[in-house]
Each structure stands twice: as C-alpha cells, then as structure tokens.
Amino acid sequence: MVSERLRAKLNEQIQKEFYSAYLYLSMEAYFLSQNLDGFANWFHIQAQEERDHAMLIFDYLNRVGAKIELGAIEAPPTDFASPEEVLQKTVEHERLVTRSIYDLFDLASEEKDHKTVMFLQWFVNEQVEEEENAEKNLASFRFVKDDPKGILLLDREMAARVYTPITSTNSQQ
C-alpha cells in the first residue's frame, strides 16, 4: 500500500508523463513541418519514452494495490517560433519534471515509504539523462544554427536515435 497523499501524487505524475509525451509529439509535428525529419525522429522516440515512464508508475500503483486514476491531459502548444525555441522549451520542461520527481521523492522519504523511495530512485537517475540530452541538443543546435549544412548534419545525427522500450525500473541505463 501507499498513503493516500502519495497515491494522488503518483497518479498526477502519470498525467505529467503523458503530457510530456503529448508535448513531444507536438514538437515532432513541428519538426516534420520544417522538413527536419531527424529532429522529428528524436522527439518521436522521446514521446515513446515518456509513455513508458507513465506506464512504469501505472504498473507500480497496481503492484502496491493503489487505485489508478487517470486525469485529463491538457493540450500542448502547437506553434513554435524556431527549432531553438523547441529545444529551449524541452530543457525547461525536463527541469520541471525533475522538480516534480524530487517532490515525490521527498514525500515518500518523509513518509518513510522505502519501497516507493527505491522505485523513484530510477526516475531521479533518469532525469539526469533527460536534462543532459535536452541540454546537449540545445547546445549543439546553437553551435550550428547559422549554418544550414551544420543543421542538416545535426538532423542526420538525430535521425540515428533508436527506441529501446523501458519495461522495468530495474533496467540499467
């Protein structure tokens, strides 16, 4: 079991992860519209990973016998001024998600809910990677943004990303 407060917060986190997937799908759509298919691929895979994050929490709630309650997912922004704005927003969004995971971790720690602390440890580590990737993408783009050839090369690099399903918080990254 988990406390009612923690159960509610974990359910909210499912919603936030699905929102992240939705946001990244919207960003994928933007890159497709700009003919930057490699960037679009990167965001497509990012959206898949966000759904995996949501499902890990979904499965955890089920395993500890806590009620799963799915909330409404708000619409993401659909208009972006430039690739740089998208990449900047991705960094900002991942920082927000990290804050949210830390709040969950703090609550589980305060409640001495050790199993949930252990479960959330994976997400704490995952957020290091999420922020790092988002920051690298932004930095790389800023290096080449005035050079169309550089953008095309970066787009090719982004096209190489492949999806590996995340099925367990025991899996090592």
Binding region for ligand FEO (CB under 6 A): 17, 20, 50, 53, 94, 97, 130
- Total residue count of the chain as it appears in this document: 173
User: Closest approach of Cβ 82 to ligand FEO, in Å?
Assistant: 21
Which is closer to ligand FEO, CB of 94 or CB of 155? 94
**Which of 28/130 has CB closer to ligand FEO?**
130
Minimum gap (Å) between residue 86 Cβ and ligand FEO: 14
Supply 139's token pair: 């930095």
CB of 37 to ligand FEO, least distance (A): 21
Q: How far is the CB of 147 from ligand FEO (least distance, A)?
A: 29
- Residue nearest to ligand FEO as judged by C-beta position: 53
d(CA 36, CA 100): 31
Residue 3 or residue 100: which is nearer to ligand FEO going by CB? 100
Q: Would you state the structure tokens that stand for residue 19, as one six-digit string?
A: 């929102």
